[in-house]
């Protein structure tokens, strides 16, 4: 790698600042009392506390998964604080009551909280460490019957809905991190789209970890009733600490008959420094249940941050003719490790799924695609198309593909394509010979490579993702 290119690789992370704000941080450690404390702080009903305690019991019996292609020192779950919240008035009536320091933080991150400054057409829920601090456009959405609020509020204001769906897509015993999350989750977003309603604006949640020793365990739920549709966006950043923070979220989606949920993520958690020190461990379980006939669940993710990513947004295609989609760009640089992909479980008849995965590995990083396409005996006429492309940048990075395909009937169709390519010095020289510098060249090549995924993103997100990728990879070529 040439020297100029080397310099360009080492672009600093621009969201790495810490907000000095008074926080209410729970003492480190995890036991039943911690869970009771969280539940009490949130004034939760008894059934939820039980759900947590049961999950905790299950978690105690479980082992950390060892199968992902990622390596890290053992996590000490007693060294983490399971609750951190900015100290402020318990309930805010308007955005003007939000701590100005917090508002400044989000302004700095480019997340507009003031409704009058908000991007036209996007409602935002903001999660700072363990709690939701603000949700915009709530009233406007309520007019059409949409509930968009923090999970804590939903538990208090719409307990019947939460109770009905919580843990139904991802049971608390699903896996180690889902169980942990079910025991200690603090906040997240809750969306409910009533029958026949097309959500008039994109809903979005912005996550920010601010406290060094706290973990973030948010829980998000989207329920789309019959014939409804919604597009949901998720963004995340964290300060640059030299220690690692654990982020173990759970996201459950339910789409009923003819409903359509589109979930887009731009994940930009702190990735650690160029030597691999610090960064977020992002161990997330996301799953959508396409429960109704003709329902559709579509995941689009752009994963650029985190020291380690372990994440498989999946679709369970239960309803006949339901559709599952997964579009993913995962970028790793320096010493980042990502093991990401999807699961498409076909159960209903004529269910269809599409997987488009683009992995880009630079520096010393390792990027794995892991995907399961499972077609049950009942899923007659099911179809899947998978395309997994890897791009290597430089000589020391790794790309791996682990596709698992299980077909249990004989009239379904599964197609898998894979490719590996490399940005070479000669490609960059070709651009340079035509007057185009390395940054512009890399950004053009990467955008070309990710085109099929980016065009799935809502407009503002696509622009952000493009900029983020160029920024992350500038010149990491050689």
Q: Report if residue 395 touches other proteins, rule: CB under 8 A.
A: no
Q: Binder to other proteins among 17, 145, 440, 470 (CB under 8 A)?
A: 440
Q: Which is nearer to other proteins, 78 or 421 (CB)?
A: 421
Q: How many residues bind other proteins (CB under 8 A)?
A: 21
Q: Binder to other proteins among 229, 378, 387, 427 (CB under 8 A)?
A: 427
Residue 357: CB minimum distance to other proteins, A = 15
Q: Does the CA dihedral 259-172-165-26 come out positive or negative?
A: negative
Residue 428: CB minimum distance to other proteins, A = 9
User: Does residue 402 sit in helix, strand or coil?
Assistant: strand
Residue 438: CB minimum distance to other proteins, A = 8
Q: Which is nearer to other proteins, 309 or 401 (CB)?
A: 401
Q: Binder to other proteins among 14, 43, 108, 451 (CB under 8 A)?
A: 451
Q: Report if residue 432 touches other proteins, rule: CB under 8 A.
A: yes
Q: Which is nearer to other proteins, 173 or 437 (CB)?
A: 437
Q: Report if residue 404 touches other proteins, rule: CB under 8 A.
A: no
Distances (CA, A) of 391 to 209, 420, 445: 30, 6, 10
Q: Report if residue 420 touches other proteins, rule: CB under 8 A.
A: no
Q: Which is nearer to other proteins, 437 or 470 (CB)?
A: 437
Q: Which residues pair with 367 in a beta bridge?
A: 338, 399
Please, where are the H alpha helices in 90-247? Answer: 100-108, 138-143, 151-157, 159-165, 176-184
Question: Of 477, 327, 335, which is closest to residue 398 (Cα–Cα)?
Answer: 335
Residues making up the chain, counted from first to last: 478
Q: Binder to other proteins among 71, 89, 116, 434 (CB under 8 A)?
A: 434
Q: Report if residue 465 touches other proteins, rule: CB under 8 A.
A: no
Helix %, strand %, coil % of the chain (to 5): 25, 35, 40
Unique residue bearing structure tokens 């609750």: 83
Q: Binder to other proteins among 377, 421, 455, 463 (CB under 8 A)?
A: 421
Unique residue bearing structure tokens 């009923």: 256
User: Quick one: which segment of 196-204, 269-277, 443-451, 457-465 binds other proteins (CB under 8 A)?
Assistant: 443-451
Q: Which is nearer to other proteins, 323 or 445 (CB)?
A: 445
Q: Is 445 left (phi over 0), alpha (psi -120 to 50) or beta?
A: alpha
Q: Report if residue 454 touches other proteins, rule: CB under 8 A.
A: no
Query: How many H helices and E strands in the chain?
Result: 11, 23
**467 burial class (0-12, 13-18, 19+ CB within 10 angstroms)?**
exposed
Instruction: 403-406: list long-range contacts, CB under 8 Å, 24+ apart.
Output: 403/369, 403/370, 403/371, 403/373, 404/370, 404/371, 404/372, 404/373, 404/374, 405/372, 405/373, 406/372, 406/373, 406/374, 406/375
Question: Of 304, 368, 299, 291, which is closest to residue 333 (Cα–Cα)?
Answer: 304
Residue 333: CB minimum distance to other proteins, A = 19
Q: Report if residue 463 touches other proteins, rule: CB under 8 A.
A: no
Contact 135, 148 (CB under 8 A): yes
Q: Binder to other proteins among 436, 460, 470, 471 (CB under 8 A)?
A: 436
From CA 304, how far away is CA 301, in angstroms rounded?
9
Residue 384: CB minimum distance to other proteins, A = 23
User: Quick one: which segment of 47-55, 222-230, 323-331, 437-445 binds other proteins (CB under 8 A)?
Assistant: 437-445
Q: Binder to other proteins among 430, 455, 463, 467 (CB under 8 A)?
A: 430
Q: Binder to other proteins among 26, 70, 203, 445 (CB under 8 A)?
A: 445
The DSSP code for 290 is E
Q: Report if residue 7 touches other proteins, rule: CB under 8 A.
A: no
Q: Which is nearer to other proteins, 221 or 438 (CB)?
A: 438
From CA 462, how far away is CA 45, in angstroms rounded?
40
State the angle between helix axes of 46-60 and 32-41 in degrees (0 to 180), rounded to the nearest 10: 150
From CA 192, how far away is CA 35, in angstroms rounded?
27
User: Quick one: which segment of 20-28, 153-161, 195-203, 420-428 binds other proteins (CB under 8 A)?
Assistant: 420-428
Q: Which is nearer to other proteins, 404 or 430 (CB)?
A: 430
Which tokens is 383 given? Answer: 């179809």
User: Does residue 164 sit in helix, strand or coil?
Assistant: helix
Q: Which is nearer to other proteins, 48 or 440 (CB)?
A: 440
User: Quick one: which segment of 193-201, 339-347, 396-404, 430-438 binds other proteins (CB under 8 A)?
Assistant: 430-438
The DSSP code for 95 is G
Q: Report if residue 437 touches other proteins, rule: CB under 8 A.
A: yes
Residue 345: CB minimum distance to other proteins, A = 31
Residue 287: CB minimum distance to other proteins, A = 31
Q: Which is nearer to other proteins, 276 or 424 (CB)?
A: 424
Q: Binder to other proteins among 429, 455, 463, 467 (CB under 8 A)?
A: 429
**Which residues are at the interface with other proteins (CB under 8 A)?**
2, 421, 424-427, 429-437, 440, 444-445, 448-449, 451
């Amino acid at each position: 790698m040439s020297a100029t290119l080397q310099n360009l690789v080492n672009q600093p992370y621009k969201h790495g600042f810490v907000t000095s704000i008074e926080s209410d941080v729970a003492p480190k450690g995890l036991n039943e009392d911690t869970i009771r404390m969280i539940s009490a702080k949130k004034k939760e009903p008894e059934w939820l506390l039980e759900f947590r305690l049961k999950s905790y019991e299950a978690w105690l019996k479980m082992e950390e998964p060892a199968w992902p292609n990622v390596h890290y020192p053992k996590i000490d779950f007693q060294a983490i604080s399971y609750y951190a919240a900015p100290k402020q008035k318990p309930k805010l009536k308007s955005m003007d009551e939000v701590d100005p320091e917090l508002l400044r933080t989000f302004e700095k991150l480019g997340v507009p909280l003031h409704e009058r400054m908000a991007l036209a057409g996007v409602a935002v829920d903001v999660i700072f460490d363990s709690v939701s601090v603000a949700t915009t456009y709530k009233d406007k959405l309520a007019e059409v019957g949409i509930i968009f609020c923090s999970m804590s509020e939903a538990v208090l204001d719409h307990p019947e809905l939460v109770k009905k769906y919580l843990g139904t897509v991802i049971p608390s015993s699903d896996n180690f991190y889902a169980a942990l999350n079910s025991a200690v989750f603090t906040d997240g977003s809750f969306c409910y789209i009533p029958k026949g309603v097309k959500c008039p604006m994109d809903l979005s949640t912005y996550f920010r970890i601010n406290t060094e020793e706290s973990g973030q365990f948010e829980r998000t739920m989207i329920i789309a009733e019959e014939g409804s549709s919604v597009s949901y966006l998720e963004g995340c950043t964290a300060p640059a600490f030299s220690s690692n923070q654990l982020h173990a979220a759970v996201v459950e989606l339910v789409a009923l008959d003819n409903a359509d949920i589109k979930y887009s993520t731009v994940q930009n958690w702190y990735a650690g420094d160029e030597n691999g020190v610090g960064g977020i461990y992002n161990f997330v379980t996301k799953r959508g249940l396409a429960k109704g006939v003709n329902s559709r669940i579509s995941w689009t993710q752009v994963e650029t941050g985190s020291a380690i990513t372990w994440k498989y947004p999946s679709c369970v295609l239960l309803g006949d003719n339901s559709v599952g989609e997964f579009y993913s760009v995962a970028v790793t640089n320096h010493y980042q490790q990502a093991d990401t992909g999807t699961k498409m479980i076909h159960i209903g008849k004529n269910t269809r799924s599409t997987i488009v995965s683009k992995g880009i590995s630079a520096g010393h990083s390792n990027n794995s695609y892991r995907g399961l396409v499972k077609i049950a005996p009942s899923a007659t006429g099911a179809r899947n198309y998978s395309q997994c492309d890897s791009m290597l940048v430089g000589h020391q990075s790794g790309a791996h593909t682990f596709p698992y395909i299980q077909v249990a009937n004989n009239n379904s169709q599964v197609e898998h394509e894979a490719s590996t390519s490399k940005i070479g010095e000669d490609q960059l020289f070709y651009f340079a010979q035509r007057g185009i510098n390395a940054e512009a060249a890399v950004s053009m090549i990467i955008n070309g490579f990710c085109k099929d995924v980016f065009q799935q993103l809502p407009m503002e997100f696509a622009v952000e993702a493009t900029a983020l990728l160029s920024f992350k990879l500038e010149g990491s070529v050689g």
